[in-house]
Structure 1
Amino acid sequence: MTSMTRALLGATALCAIGATAASAQTLTIATVNNGDMIRMQGLTDDFTSEHPDIQLEWVTLEENVLRQRVTTDIATNGGQYDVITIGNYEVPIWANQQWLAPLEDMPEDYDADDLLPAIAGGLSVDGTLYAAPFYGESAMVMYRTDLAEEAGIDMPDQPTWTDVMAAAEAFNDPDNGTYGICLRGKAGWGENMAFITAMSNSYGARWFDMDWQPQFDSPEWTATLSDYLNMMENYGPPGAANNGFNENLALFQQGRCGIWIDATVAASFVTDPDESTVADNVGFAQFPNKDGVDNHGNWLWSWNLAIPSSSGNVEAAKQFVAWATSKGYTDLVAAEEGWRAAPPGTRTSLYENAEYQDAAPFAAMTLESIDAVDTNAPSVQEIPYTGAQFVSIPEFQGIGTAVGQAFSAALAGQMDAEAALSQAQQITTQEMTASGYIE
């Protein structure tokens, strides 16, 4: 081979490399800063090795900030993101606005029929999937079995709030840094209001009557907020008004909470011996109900990957979404970190997997909690809306956050329960009237 030939071949190779680099698509992915999403980012070499023509750029944000930025971008057709992490609250609303690309023509091995019906139903409009679930959840009680044994407490599989309050009192030992109960206090429609709305459902409350009149002046809401504040003031950690999911997760893992009632997805983290100091002493029970009310909260949530219609890389984005929410990704997580860490609450096959059942002591309770949810009837009273720990109307994002701020202020001692409920009633009535729901 002559030196000229070698030079020509080398130049051709460099051109090919340059062409590949030039043709590579960059997907900008907006996601939430929770453990499962951080884990996914750490495993994406598996995707990029199979798709060398696709590069990934991550925007990882706290939950409330993520919602604000993604909502602003998609509503203004900004096109800043190619893949977005959104909840089952947004999916049907945004799909009806034609803001999301339909997830049609997914790879043959994606097996959309394997998705849990309750989860897939909340992500579909007229039978078409508009977001793929990364993980799904209901809510349940997580509690310290060692503290229960010491106190002689027997937590039922289906506890009442009376059971929970008695246990919280027995577990409470602030002098030794252990608090009886940890609940969300950080303001936000998807933060404290997710929990408090589920709690209100379990007390027999409802957000609106059949004429869309707010119901914060009802006895059920008074009992809900009063008991919530009493539990947190008497048995909760200091600064609870600043605590959301991640903050309470850290507290429980550090052994500083006797009871934590929150998303079922937390179970894999509180039982992880590498992250949790109480991994071997965690029990699980269904979300509590109020004595005499047959309703265990009705919390159903999924974090999902969707593609904005404004993306210029829809087909490449679809390949990433299919990878991240596939059975193959579940197998990858299991291979890297064990079956206990597999993303829960999305696929029937996971709960039929004997290896997962053996590794995840919370699997049965998670599935039972998800299956128990009825998003068409979150309250035992008649209602004009659907949802679970939220109300499925576009206005709820703003209203829920405003009400959450009032309730968080009450938790911080800035007002009492009566004043917070009065403020919630006034805010919600004004917004619902301005939006045309109330004539």
Structure 2
Amino acid sequence: MARARIRVALTGAAAALLVAAPAGCAGWGGTGAGSGGANSIDVLMVNNPQMIDLQRLTAEHFTRETGIGVNFTVLPENDVRDKISQEFSSQAGQYDVASLSNFEIPIYAKSKWIAPLDDYLAADPEFDQADILPPMTGSLTADDGKLYGEPFYGESSFLMYRKDVLDAAGITMPPRPTWQQVADIAARVDGRQPGMAGICLRGQPGWGQIFAPLTTVVNTFGGTWFDAGWNARVDAPEFRQATEFYVDLVRTYGETGAPQAGFTECLNNLVQGNAAMWYDATSAAGTLEADGSPVKGRIGYAAAPVVRTPASGWLYAWSWSIQQASEKRDNAWKFISWASSKRYEQLVGDRLGWSRVPAGKRASTYGNQEYLKVAAAFAEPTRDAIASADPRNPGVQPRPALGIQFVDIPEFTDLGTQVSQYVSSAIAGQMSVGEALERGQRLAEDVAERYRSRKEG
């Protein structure tokens, strides 16, 4: 790469473009967990905007139709993960339903903290499980072959870029670019407009921050956290090559304050014209194309960049699961089957607008002309990204656990976060990539040894 630099300050915040949500509250008409009678359920969920829409619509539409009251407890992501873990591991039965991701669901299923849904699906053909995108179903199915969650909305990852900036530079973005092509384009468009970086990539520490995109880069470069025999491979040549590429790219042509930049900061950079490209979650497109966005209509969408694999996009879904200890499972399923249904998507489109539909989970969404009117720019790339995601085979070698942008084991949250701190320090110029990954390898070996011991035992 040419000139290395670290840009020095983030510009503004993306709060004006993101829907604010309450930090923690009971549902409308409810007073929190445990407050209802026999014909009510308690739902613990993350405070994402789509969830808040659900909360507002439930009493008038679900409760009025079924007679089932819903008491919501709504918390920020880190807080809700902690509370769900405490609640479900103790099997206290205080909450009947919780919002879990495809990271937690296979782990919780193995621990028998959540109930399988297969019998409910067999008795409820109207739900139409076949309409759920297969990668979503696969990521919510445990090793026993049973389904333990239904997606509320889902996402993959793709490359977002300023069409006008590339056009002015005489550049055509390939529909399925390689990472080297992306790096070459970043070099050519870097600084084309005042203050504009060639690309924005997450550098903020966290297993779900920098290592969400970076692990997909590792996969397509031929690397993996662990091989099929539970041998740690963090300092292997392929993992190192991918990480050096990522760090060099963001240091040379990346955004201001890259070591502190996560999803929100990169979203803000693209919206404000401070980056020409961004590789990240497909869910960002709704904000980029929203009414009032200064870049609406200017963004192009290409497949997640690759090196050795045919695809490299990640897979993530906020989903619903029923606590094993719940005494109200039938009512819990009725809520889940409504909240994840085609009918609910239509309700949101009619009442709140099609840009707010919790998409990314059903094939039928991408044939709905009302939805496509507002999502035409990104609907097909999003569907294609999700459809090509393979959580059971995301790289070039067999893996010991599910996951594309994560390794689906409980230890990965700590492992990924600790290693991410080292890599973020490498972006900041405080250590080399080699040193970061050597430290990461030692941590990964400790995890690997535990799993090899269990396997041998």
Equivalent pair of 1:31/1:59 in contact (CA under 8 Å) = yes
Query: After superposition, what is the alpha-carbon deviation per residue over 1:213-268, rounded to whole angstroms, capped at 9, x for unaligned?
Result: 21122221122111211222222223333333233333333333221111222222
- Calculate the aligned-residue CA RMSD, in Å: 2.7
- Compute the displacement of 1:193 (Å): 1.5
1:156 maps to which residue?
A: 174
Q: Give every structure 1 segment of 4 or more consecutive aligned residues whose post-TM-superposition deviation is greater than 6 Å.
A: none
List gaps (5 residues or longer) in structure 1.
1-20
Secondary structure, counterpart of 2:222 in structure 1: coil
Alignment of 1:335-374 (within 5 A): 335-360=350-375, 361-374=377-390
Query: After superposition, what is the alpha-carbon deviation per residue over 1:38-94, rounded to whole angstroms, capped at 9, x for unaligned?
Result: 4433433433443555143232213x4433332233223344543222111221221
Amino acid at match of 1:102: P
Amino acid at match of 2:397: Q
Amino acid at match of 1:98: K
Equivalent pair of 2:160/2:277 in contact (CA under 8 Å) = yes
> Is 1:99 aligned with 2:116?
no
- Compute the displacement of 1:164 (Å): 1.3
1:288 maps to which residue?
A: 305
2:233 to 215, 224, 229: 215
CA distance in 2, matches of 1:287, 1:87: 21
2:436 to 413, 416, 420: 420
- Compute the displacement of 1:156 (Å): 0.7
Alignment of 1:184-333 (within 5 A): 184-274=202-292, 276-290=293-307, 293-333=308-348
Query: After superposition, what is the alpha-carbon deviation per residue over 1:380-411, rounded to whole angstroms, capped at 9, x for unaligned?
Result: 13444432222233332332222223223333
CA distance in 1, matches of 2:92, 2:206: 24
Greater CA drift, 161-170 or 321-330: 161-170
Equivalent pair of 1:26/1:57 in contact (CA under 8 Å) = no
Amino acid at match of 1:354: Q
- Cα distance change of structure 1 residues 162 and 316 upon mapping to structure 2, 3 Å threshold: same
2:72 maps to which residue?
A: 57
Secondary structure, counterpart of 1:279 in structure 2: coil
- Cα distance change of structure 1 residues 124 and 385 upon mapping to structure 2, 3 Å threshold: closer
CA distance in 2, matches of 1:72, 1:341: 31
CA distance in 2, matches of 1:137, 1:184: 17
Query: After superposition, what is the alpha-carbon deviation per residue over 1:304-330, rounded to whole angstroms, capped at 9, x for unaligned?
Result: 111222345433332322221111111
TM-score, normalised to structure 2, is: 0.82
Equivalent pair of 1:48/1:54 in contact (CA under 8 Å) = yes
Query: After superposition, what is the alpha-carbon deviation per residue over 1:88-108, rounded to whole angstroms, capped at 9, x for unaligned?
Result: 122122112210123343555
User: What percent identity do the matched residue pairs reach?
Assistant: 38
1:6 maps to which residue?
A: none
Equivalent pair of 2:45/2:72 in contact (CA under 8 Å) = no
Greater CA drift, 142-151 or 21-30: 21-30
Equivalent pair of 2:203/2:258 in contact (CA under 8 Å) = yes
CA distance in 1, matches of 2:438, 2:241: 14
CA distance in 1, matches of 2:350, 2:219: 39
Query: After superposition, what is the alpha-carbon deviation per residue over 1:80-138, rounded to whole angstroms, capped at 9, x for unaligned?
Result: 54322211122122112210123343555322232122211221244532111011222
CA distance in 2, matches of 1:246, 1:308: 32
List gaps (5 residues or longer) in structure 2.
1-34
- The number of aligned residues is 415
Larger Rg: 1
Amino acid at match of 1:97: S
Equivalent pair of 2:55/2:72 in contact (CA under 8 Å) = no
Greater CA drift, 171-180 or 263-272: 171-180
Equivalent pair of 2:258/2:427 in contact (CA under 8 Å) = yes
